[in-house]
Amino acid sequence: MEKIKILLVDDDRQNSEFLQKFLEVEDYVVTYAENGCTGWKAFQTARPDLVLLDVNMPVMNGFELAQLIRERDRDVLIFFLTDRTEKADRLRGFDLKGNDYIPKPFYPEELIAKIHERFEHRKPASPARMTIGQTVFDRNLSTIEHDGIVHHLSARQSDILYLLVQHLNQTIARDEILQSVWGNDSYANSLALNVQITYLRRMLMGDKSLTILSLKKRGYVLEVKGE
């Protein structure tokens, strides 16, 4: 298994250097950034499995960075490490889809235990770059490429296409897509799904080996000829 990559974003350099060394002793690969702005750049470069995120930082705070990260990546783990322990702050952290909220000060061993627990049963990662028919789908970059033409996908379009690829030539229920991508199956989100499927069809239409079929009241099938 590849080493787990961690991005540590905190403006307290001294304590961060100590924590980074502690994590590296545990065989994690750690990238450090001193504020939210440099943390965002580091996130896009390092592509971490886990982000350890302070809240009170200059330039861009931790909540703002978490929102950017979640717009790009729904799967990466986010742990907030902060001295902001009020109920409203904790709720905001979880509203931003944070996976844990750890008050400062904390014991490094406590953090290590939480990380071990999260990754104990880690499955081998799905390949980020996949070939479907004659099209290459890069989930990390949110792009599809066919015959030299590259289309850039929104985060939701990328998530929908990934689900279709995971169920290649099989039906995936509308409700499953709605719950996975939007979090609920409201009428408004159902209409939004119709729109996003239309966009995906347009971007894939150059590849004649691919078709997204709609099955009334059931769901969708990404059909690949010859598969």
Paired tokens of 168: 């290649």
Q: What is the pLDDT of residue 86?
A: 79
| 215 shares a domain with 133 | yes
- The answer to whether position 124 is within a domain reads no
* 222 beta partners: 212
| 23 shares a domain with 51 | yes
Q: Which residue has the tokens 């970059």?
A: 141
Give the amino acid at 109. Answer: E
| 216 shares a domain with 142 | yes
- The answer to whether position 139 is within a domain reads yes
- The answer to whether position 213 is within a domain reads yes
| 135 shares a domain with 112 | no
Q: Which residue has the tokens 């590259």?
A: 150
* 102 beta partners: 81
Q: Which residue has the tokens 């071990």?
A: 116
CA 75 → CA 139, 141, 201, distances in Å? 12, 14, 25
Using a cut of 0.85, tell me whether the model's pTM lies above it. Answer: no
Q: Which residue has the tokens 């902001």?
A: 84
In this structure, the number of other CB atoms found within 10 A of the CB of residue 154 comes to: 12
d(CA 90, CA 103): 10
For the chain of 227 residues, list the mean pLDDT of each consecutive stretch of 10: 87 93 91 94 92 91 92 90 80 85 89 88 67 92 93 93 92 92 90 96 95 92 83
DSSP one-letter code for 104:
S
Phi and psi at 21, nearest 5°, equal -65, -40
Q: What is the pLDDT of residue 170?
A: 93
| 100 shares a domain with 60 | yes
In this structure, the number of other CB atoms found within 10 A of the CB of residue 40 comes to: 20
Domain edge (last residue) among 90, 119, 148: 119
Domain edge (last residue) among 119, 147, 166: 119
- Give the per-residue SS3 of 22-42: HHHHCCCEEEEECCHHHHHHH
Q: Residues 6 or more apart from 16 whose CB is under 8 A from it?
A: 8, 10, 32, 34
Q: What is the pLDDT of residue 94?
A: 82
Where in the sequence is the domain holding 101, given as residue range(s)? 5-119
* 172 beta partners: 220
| 92 shares a domain with 50 | yes
| 105 shares a domain with 29 | yes
Q: Which residue has the tokens 């350099």?
A: 13
